[in-house]
Structure 1
Amino acid sequence: MNFTRWSARLPGTQRRAAARADRTSATSSQVPATTGAQGTGSVPAARAESAPAAGPDADPVPSLDALSVHAILGQVPALVAVLYGPDHRVAYVNDAYAALFGPRTPGIPARTALPELDELGLLPLMDQVLRSGRPRTVKSRRVPLTAPAGAPAPARTDPDARPRHGYYTFTCSPLEVGGSTAAQRGVLVFAADVTDQVEAAERLRASERRQREAAVTLQRSLLPQELEQPDDLRVAATYQPGGKDTAVGGDWYDVITLGAGRTALVIGDVMGRGVRAAAVMGQLRTAVRAYARLDLPPHEVLQLLDGLAAEIDATQIATCVYAIHDPNEGRLVYASAGHLPILVRDPDGTVRRAAEPTGPPLGTGGWLHTSGSMPFGPGASAVLYTDGLVERRDEDIDEGVAALERAFAGATGSPQVMCDRLIRALGVTQEHDDDVAVLVLQHPARTGHDAELFHNAALELLGGIEAAPRARAFASGVLASWRFPTDLRDLGVLAASELVANSLQHGTPPMRLRLRRTDRRLIIEVTDGDDHLPRRRRAEPADEAGRGISIIATIASSWGSRRTPGGGKAVWCEFALPAGHP
């Protein structure tokens, strides 16, 4: 910008300079003279001595009186257009505007002369400015960066590259256009280039999306990739990460088949978010699977988890509920460490909460967990969930659990469908601020052909030398009635004989032989009153005993043992049914 047009010879400037000189001389005449370093005069006025003397030769303060608005707007890098009248006729566009959109002829309405403003939706905004007399702003409007009319288009080295766009923030301000006698109401359109800011914000959002996707992938990798599907239950789970940040959560769930038709179901929540919470969650989930293989009662599993959680990180609070379903008993046995209650829906639609006991969260120590149980027969459903499903900032958590009970009472369909319906019924969306994990299980009531694939048979044994022959005869008859192939029937009879013989030798009455078939396997189980679990060992060639469990492990698909409530044990083995067997 050229500042040489401002001159001290202008009349107004001369008067102001003379007035300043008069004030300075008057101030100087009032300051007493000094008498030297040793004299007794007054201290000289620092302001008067340090102030430069103003005179005709001093540089004047520039005046804006003669500054050309046209010259300033022409050099502004922003887009500027001045329009007047109710139809927004063009009065002026600056060089930056003409360079982007091309030159414009003054006097033509904006709808014809400035079609880009119409495409950007600014004409209605300009109407509002004229009516209200107040400025209006629209932010980050996308503007194609194309060459103006008559100018050659820029070369495109990459034919697949997308055309680049710019982003501008438009401000429309009211102003008077023309002289004082012929002034008209108009609008000043000022557009600042914010392309760099918009692209930087988009890069930041893209980076945050990638980080969140990575965090969610990490979270999901710590959860089961595919749930185990028990023979007697249908199960499904849903996990939805909360919030929009990149911090992973600590919710987890799992389904673990224990053998002999029994299934463990677990859900837990490590409080807080971030890598530390996810790491603790991963360790606890792995530990649960390891402890589940010991086939311990639920309260003993939580007791072991409690000690492990304190060792991992005593500052991380974690809740957990661990449940076991046994189709032979038709019950759900559970233990809870500070977690929300399991909900069970009976075949008639009645929803019941799992009652106490509920212990403190994991890692607190000094607490003896106990197990509870509730009926869970054919036709029943249950839901395990984390607090993100029912907890809201503006209401008590009991209200959320009650809302879940109502939604669960009316939910129908497969377990996966029920998970989705419960999520929607509780108002959980993508913007939900907490992680949500839901695990639904159903014990279907089978009829017709499906019912023929599930059978149970049991024989009470009182001991004595006749127990083994009775067991073999019973097993042979039952397996024949179930129309098993001969080779499978022979293996089943041999397994029943070995398990009963082992119980007769090492156990105590009462004894029971139980045979069970599902659509996928044959299960043989023997229970007795002794709680010493058998171990597989290597028998020496000269030994007359000690080979029973080894025989079972060799011929069966899997085998195991567990202690039963009230004392005693159960030893079982499984045989997978051949493909295509009805």
Structure 2
Amino acid sequence: MAGVDRDPDRPAIGDRPVIGADQRLALNRMGSFDWDLESGTFDLDDAGLAVFDLRPDEYDGRAASLVSRVPPEEGLRIEAVVDAAVRGGRTSYGSYFQVTRRTGHRQWTHTRGHILRDGHGRPYRVVGIVRNATAEFTEFTAAGPAETARPGLTTVVQTTTEALSAAITVDDVAAVLTGAGGLERFGADGLALGLVEGGALRLIAMAGESMEVLDDLRLHRLDGSLPLADAVLRQQPRFVTSLRDLVADRFPRLRPYIRRLGANAAAFLPLVAQARCIGCLAVFYRSRTHFPAVDREAFLTLAGIVAQSLQRAILFDQEREFATGLQAAMLPRDLPEFPGAEIAVRYHAAWNGRAVGGDWYDVIALPRGRVGIVVGDVQGHDTHAAAVMGQLRIALRAFAGEGHTPATVLARASRFLAELDTERFATCVYAQLDPETGAILAVRAGHLGPLLRHPDGRTRWPDLRGGLPLGAATAFGFEEFPETRLDLVPGETLVLCTDGLVEEPGRDIAEGMALLAEAVRSGPGRAGALADHLSERLWERWGTGDDVALLVLRRSPGPGGGPAPRIHQYIHQADPEGLAETRAALRRALTDWGLPELADDVELAAGELLVNVLLHTEGGAVLTLEVLPEPVRRVRLWVKDRSSAWPRRRDPGEAATSGRGLLLVEALAARWGVEPRGDGKAVWCEFERAPEPDPEH
């Protein structure tokens, strides 16, 4: 076969060699590339080098080396297209551009790349093709040299249809037509997109260097005095090769704008969907001389495709406005403020039209200066779910405002939901906070528990024992919602959210929870800034397929410098696993703080003090471990309870089986003591790091 070299290692059929994939590409003037975004290398195969008219010794594997063939303005345009695709989360992009061959002639070229992303959505590689697109422009040869710089309209229809297939909203459609790459796709010098609004035409998007001269006409009546409005009224396209003649003969109102517009030809295309004109698309050219029949047919096909996409987008925007409006009406408008606490809430509606969800949040002022916070989710994504959510939120707020305990609030809310005679159930987490002391009582009904961030940035998921979802708990006759006590120190933050923030289709929720913990750890300190940070990092990343309710509560930090490392644990008297979890938390904290050598002594002393509380008092215990200020590197352990009886140091005999707890604490700790704490007491002990050995001895 002429032009094909026989590869001795490639099988042949008779005298005809088998043509490989690389040769197939080359025969079609097409090459491939592999772009490593991390290292910056841009590998081109031989066919790709031929497209750019480069020899292998003229190319060093970097995209910047192509500047000798790609004019600066073309390079900037391609860069904008690629950047928009990468930032927009798209998986591919396409672009036409010109290459200057070594002879000085300009060559139309097309590239299409596929963007590869890692598990976190970050792009790391682009693989694709480049091809000589000269053949696509031959249909314009008869129209003169100035028009050969436009891509064929058949290609325009194909690429525009592909781009519009991913457009959801009216803004998306406008971005496809007049955003990055829009003018290039049409080979035009200006574009304007208008929508019919009542008896007027509103220009919602324009593109082109001189199109701003039409700003005065962004909203004008449908009275036939301008070509766009006239095309809408007549529902007939108009192809013009002399705008000056058009103004003189038919539209004198346009005369002040023609000279500054700088265009001589235009196509005014009505956008008709279901026998109704919903808008108009105007495409302007500076040096076009005529519109052949094949071009007019392509323009009309294009107008039909745009009209269908625009109608679909208008319907979506209307449904979304209805859904978000309904949801907003169900959520509280204003939040109460509480001294000593920062609270921020965010709600994000699902990005799928009318699929309004049942997620909600609430902040409730409680008796004695306390604050109630709740985040929940009613089953389903429809108006019924939203209606049930609104009723349940008001009922739960009423039960909480009466001063009931968290467990009672959820039990009554479950009963209320069951009595609504709906098949829906709801999950939620509800907590009561005393901003002055930081004490929290929290309950959970089948919902994701809260995430806690310590002042030093560490995060953890507190172990909140949970009950059944609201409604289901009553149906199964199990209305028990165990309360868990947490202690929020100044500067600590509690994050409550619905599952839309941590779930992505096809991905394990544990991975989403880990990403949330990392985003909280690395996020800003203030509640409002952190809520925005989480929305940007997670909700937008998952593709906005589910609605999200988010509540961030931060106990205001105290005056002075930055807080010292500290952890809090609440050990419930009826929780047999609490001691083991607390010992593990102490060891982790000391390791994180660089004090692992104290872990054994602290863990042993904490066990003795906690067992003493759980055996000899009628409640649980609150344990605090903190690093004390320099110069001596030491930690202090507190164990607080609600008993007023102080521990007594005894001297048990050799045969005694108890009474050695405080003796053991005294032997392990550098010092210890007991202090009154309002309705109880606190036993404390301090542990010091051993001094560093003297290198001279």
| Greater relative contact order, per chain length (Cα 8 Å cut-off, separation 6+) | 1
Larger Rg: 1
TM (norm. structure 2) is 0.42
More helix by share: 2
